[in-house]
Structure 1
Amino acid sequence: MNEPATSTLPVQDARIYPRGGLDVLSRTEVARLRDASSGGMHELLRRCALAVLTSGSASDDPRAARDLYPHFDIQVTQQDRGVRIDLQNAPAMAFVDGQIIRGVAELLFAVVRDLAWTAIELGPEYATELESSEGITDAVFGLLRNARVLRPADPNLVVCWGGHSISRDEYLYTKQVGYELGLRGLDICTGCGPGAMKGPMKGATIAHAKQRKTHTRYIGITEPGIIAAESPNPIVNELVIMPDIEKRLEAFVRMAHGIIVFPGGVGTAEEILYLLGILLREENAHVPFPLIFTGPTIAAPYFEQIDRFIRLTLGEAATSRYEIVIGDAPEVAKKMFAGIRQVREARIAHKDSFYFNWGLSIPLEFQRPFVPTHEAMAALDLHHGRPASALAADLRRAFSGIVAGNVKEEGMRRIEQHGPFEIHGAPDMMQALDGLLRAFVEQRRMKIAGEYRPCYRVVA
């Protein structure tokens, strides 16, 4: 393996003292954050910290920041006065006149907080507790509560999904929708990266300012494999790092009072299939959950293709769980606002909390972490005749594997060593999947920059 080139970018050392939930860590937590050996999390901490210190980066290569700042390091120390974080050779872009930017510091504290909690509360000694659906949901709740993002208040949180690599027109439309949501007092939660994850937050900031809304929430939920490729955008003011993609997805749907889907690539398709697979279960048939697919007029063919793929794979019943609104940002906001009112009424009627959707049934097959090896990808059962929910779970895994091969360092390493993943299934389903993926490539939805080399091969 080639050694990374020495960076010539400006760097800075710093010593900072977190506050607000990070005043005290146990010796065990600090030891695991410092230790890069077996059971330690130092390399993970270093990678995630570097991602937030380069917040706003336009790259989606998880190795780019590491190669640009090869000598960066972070150390966490517990002192009598609290936690101390030492940064060595940190990106100078995170500082102004020698002081770390406040928002960047808050995101850095969130990284340390969440990795410390994961190291202890989800450590190997608790593995048996994560073998049940209830145990995994409790773990998701615990991490969100520890991050202090679960707040008793009237339902007003809209999760926005969409691609990090989208066209300029699509990005401007996400801002327009965010603006309309903000005018109605709604807060925004996204995957925290660029593109469709940034646009709604940016639009909402202007609307919130016009409405003199002072307690604004722009929540970003990510996971270690994604954050290095999609560093948080500068508007995120509450960051949560979930341990894996499955817990990240569960956090989205448990916290959301409604979800808007903008144009995107394989990651967005994964999110759609995850949610529809859950909503199509009989136990969730009567759970109100506003779900709107939307984009500018030029995105109409994109959603037509997504809609056809859903009908072919999951059946016509799946279409009853979402609406498609094209080129009308105010209408999207009106429909979402009305849907959230129904959510509020249902939560009151069923005595369910506003801040965490306990009433939604999520089966273990949607919660158990999927490791996209070549063997696991080839073994996915993508054939007709299966229950829609079960098929959705495997389709979700297929897209998750492609995401890993595209932007996650471990997945990229597997592709380099063994070649593309192979995806097998029913001929008509594979033809539709291949067509969808080819469209993503042609529309440059797979990568922000550079020529895309497929990490997959669809086999009928």
Structure 2
Amino acid sequence: MTSNTATRALPVQDAQIHPRGALDVLSRAEVARLRDASAGGMHDLLRRCALAVLTSGSASDDPRAARDLYPDFDIQVLQQDRGVRIDLVNAPAMAFVDGEIIRGIAELLFAVVRDLAYTAIELGPDYAADLESSGGITNAVFGLLRNARILRPADPNLVVCWGGHSISRDEYLYTKQVGYELGLRALDICTGCGPGAMKGPMKGATIAHAKQRRRTTRYIGITEPGIIAAESPNPIVNHLVIMPDIEKRLEAFVRVGHGIIVFPGGVGTAEEILYLLGILLREENKGLPFPLILTGPTIAAPYFEQIDQFIRLTLGEEATRRYEIVVGDPVAVAKKMSAGIRQVREYRIQQKDSFFFNWAVDIPNEYQQPFVPTHEAMAALDLHHGRPAHALAADLRRAFSGIVAGNVKEDGMRRIEEFGPFEIHGDPDMMQALDALLRAFVEQRRMKIAGEYKPCYRVLT
């Protein structure tokens, strides 16, 4: 199955892998797209995502780090008469044990091939018109999740956990404690699949699930191509889904999750909070039960106070009624979430909505269309008072999304290197609050795992 290649600064491995049930056969068209190395092809994207999976557990959040460490890595997907074969060349040896690829990493690798192949065809140019309508985009999200076998007709029990990849040790241990309490109550975990607050809840839940003798458990990681290289999947993820862009990733969280817990984080976490609040503040979603808890250890209390103040200033008091802040009490968090999910279950029964996909939540087109954070687009964001809360939340979310891109996504980093920091404009009090929040993230080292952080933005007050 494998053969070793030697004499490198970092050990590498060649391998031929045959999927074992985690990847259905691919069409010739899908394989051709994955092998296409032209500008419009998928091969470079496949290579970057595969390398992120093969370096699972990496402590770096620089999307270029793995590429620089393994410049000769390549992956080829080959169609054979009896199925698919994946060839790895100069792959990171850390993904292997005694010459055999670690089974969990192999499964994540198959998921990469599966999702990129599906996206290349089912969401390709021939279907562009379908992705212009809100319903068409939701159907695309459903199709991706169904193809990944994430949708399971069972009682609601999936808790989405958001939070930063760069958090303190105390905060990380707290996420594990919350995950443990959730696991004891037979709740499964879905996160952004990376390290930090995305790994801790899964790690805690694995122990609790083992104690409760739960053998069918789900640790779902939902990511997208622009972020996976900076947040490689953690080793506990047993269901990986790669959505085409951040907007479909966020919609997937809301559609499959039955409640959301937010741990301390940086700009990406703030983006997620604003996205969800903007949706829940819409009149169409006013009566929709959706438990949302912000939580962390006692030392994180000032962090949530600042988040809460920013939300009150920008979105108003109504927004604060859609979430609850619980500090330093993992048991209370798990009990509240479990009770909230029971309410979701009763509501779904009454509305005859599915348990596995939240069709009832109304997500408008403005929240679904991909935002490309160019300097012009960032400067044009309408961050002023007087707008409907859900509309302002959409633009605030885009502002944070642009900063995430400038921090850890290759395209965003390239724009910053070429044109300098993004400029963000708006009402003075809002910009002052935004600037203070971002400065706090920098001071608390929530922007970067290692090294000094150089801001990719400039807030103009």
Task: Tell me the residue number matched to 2:227.
Answer: 226
Whether the aligned pair in 2 keeps the contact of 1:7 and 1:68 (CA below 8 Å) is: no
User: Displacement of 1:76 after TM fit?
Assistant: 0.2
> Partner residue of 2:170?
169
What SS does the aligned partner of 1:50 have? helix
- Cα displacement string for residues 120-157 of structure 1 (whole angstroms, at most 9, x for unaligned residues): 00101111110000000000000000000000000000
**Counterpart residue type for residue 243 of structure 1:** P
Deviations 1:157-196 (A, max 9, x none): 0000000000000000000000000000000000000000
Aligned to 1:447: 448
2:3 is matched with none
Within-5 A mapping of 1:237-276: 237-276=238-277
Q: Which residue of 2 aligns with 1:403?
A: 404
- 2 CA distance for matches of 1:116 and 1:200? 30
1:94-133 alignment, distance < 5 Å: 94-133=95-134
Mapped contact 2:264–2:295 kept (Cα < 8 A): yes
The answer to whether the aligner puts 1:391 opposite 2:400 as a matched pair is no
CA offset digits 1:355-397 (Å, max 9, x no partner): 0000000000000000000000000000000000000000000
Q: Which moved more, 1:143-152 or 1:38-47?
A: 38-47
Write out the 4+ residue segments of structure 1 that deviate beyond 4 Å after TM superposition: none
Letter in 2 for 1:410: D
Give identity over the alignment, percent.
Answer: 87
Aligned residues: 455
Distance, in Å, in 2 between the alignment partners of 1:151 and 1:80 is: 31
Residue 320 of structure 2: aligned partner: 319
Mapped to 1, the partners of 2:250 and 2:341 lie a distance apart of 20
Q: Which residue is equivalent to 2:363?
A: 362
SS at match of 2:321: helix
- Deviation of 1:24 after TM superposition, in Å, equals 1.1
Distance 1:127 1:412 in 2: 27
Q: What is aligned with 2:338?
A: 337
| Aligned equivalent of 1:35 | 36
Q: 3-state SS of the aligned residue for 1:321?
A: coil
In 2, distance between residues paired with 1:337 and 1:22?
33
Distance in 2 (CA, whole Å) between partners of 1:451 and 1:23 is 44
**Offset at residue 19 of structure 1 (A):** 2.7
For 1:152, the equivalent position in structure 2 comes to 153
Q: Once the 2 structures are TM-superposed, how far is the Cα of residue 7 of structure 1 from its aligned partner?
A: 5.8
What letter matches 1:302 in structure 2?
Y
Q: Describe how 1:83-102 pairs up with structure 2 within 5 A.
A: 83-102=84-103
Letter in 1 for 2:183: G
The aligned residue for residue 236 of structure 2 is 235
Partners of 2:191 and 2:221 within 8 A in 1: yes
Aligned: 1:214 with 2:208: no
Please report the TM-score for the alignment, with normalisation by the length of structure 1: 0.98
What is the distance in 1 between the residues matched to 2:106 and 2:377? 39
The answer for the alignment partner of 1:191 in structure 2 is 192
8 Å CA contact retained: 1:373, 1:414:
yes
Letter in 2 for 1:227: I
**Contact map agreement 2:22 2:107 (CA 8 A) in 1:** no
Contact 1:279 1:285 in 2 (8 A): yes
User: What letter corresponds to residue 170 of structure 1 in structure 2?
Assistant: E
Q: CA deviation at 1:22?
A: 2.2
Structure 2 counterpart of 1:296: 297
**Aligned position for 1:81:** 82
Deviations 1:330-373 (A, max 9, x none): 00000000000000000000000000000000000000000000
Matched residues in 1 for 2:394 and 2:274: separation? 7
Work out the CA distance in 2 between the residues paired with 1:8 and 1:84.
28
| Residue type at the aligned position of 2:289 | P
- Structure 1 CA distance for aligned equivalents of residues 49 and 172 of structure 2: 26
Amino acid across the alignment from 1:39: G
Q: Distance in 2 between matches of 1:20 and 1:248?
A: 25
What is the Cα deviation at residue 38 of structure 1?
3.8
Residues 7, 69 of structure 1: 8 Å contact kept? no
CA–CA separation in structure 1 for the residues paired with 2:454 and 2:22: 43
Q: Give, in whole Å, the separation in 1 of the partners of 2:363 and 2:164.
A: 25
Q: Residue 310 of structure 1 contacts residue 318 of structure 1 at CA under 8 Å; is this kept in 2?
A: yes
Q: Distance in 2 between matches of 1:316 and 1:451?
A: 36
Is the 1:32–1:39 contact (alpha carbons within 8 Å) kept by the matching residues of 2? Answer: no
- In the other structure, the counterpart of 2:379 is 378
Deviation at 1:21, TM superposition (A): 4.9
Contact kept in structure 1, 2:115 and 2:242, CA below 8 Å: yes
1:251-293, Cα deviation, whole Å (9 max, x unpaired): 0000010000000000000000000000000000000000000
Cα distance, 1:39 vs structure 2 = 2.7
How many Å separate the matches in 2 of 1:144 and 1:274? 20
Are residues 1:278 and 2:287 paired? no
Aligned residue identity for 1:78: Q
SS in 2 for 1:74: strand
Q: Find the aligned partners of 1:397 and 1:279 in 2 and give their Cα distance.
A: 17
Match of 2:21 in 1: 20
Structure 1 CA distance, aligned partners of 2:387 and 2:157? 36
Q: Matched residues in 1 for 2:145 and 2:40: separation?
A: 23
> What's the counterpart of residue 418 of structure 1?
419
Aligned-partner residue type, residue 145 of structure 2: L
Query: What is the rounded CA distance, in whole Å, between the counterparts of 1:50 and 1:282 in structure 2?
Result: 43
Q: How far did 1:81 drift?
A: 1.2
**Counterpart of 2:4?**
none
Distance 1:27 1:441 in 2: 48
- The one-letter amino acid of 2:107's match is E
TM-score, structure 2 length as denominator? Answer: 0.98
1:3 aligns with none
CA RMSD of the aligned region, Å? Answer: 0.8
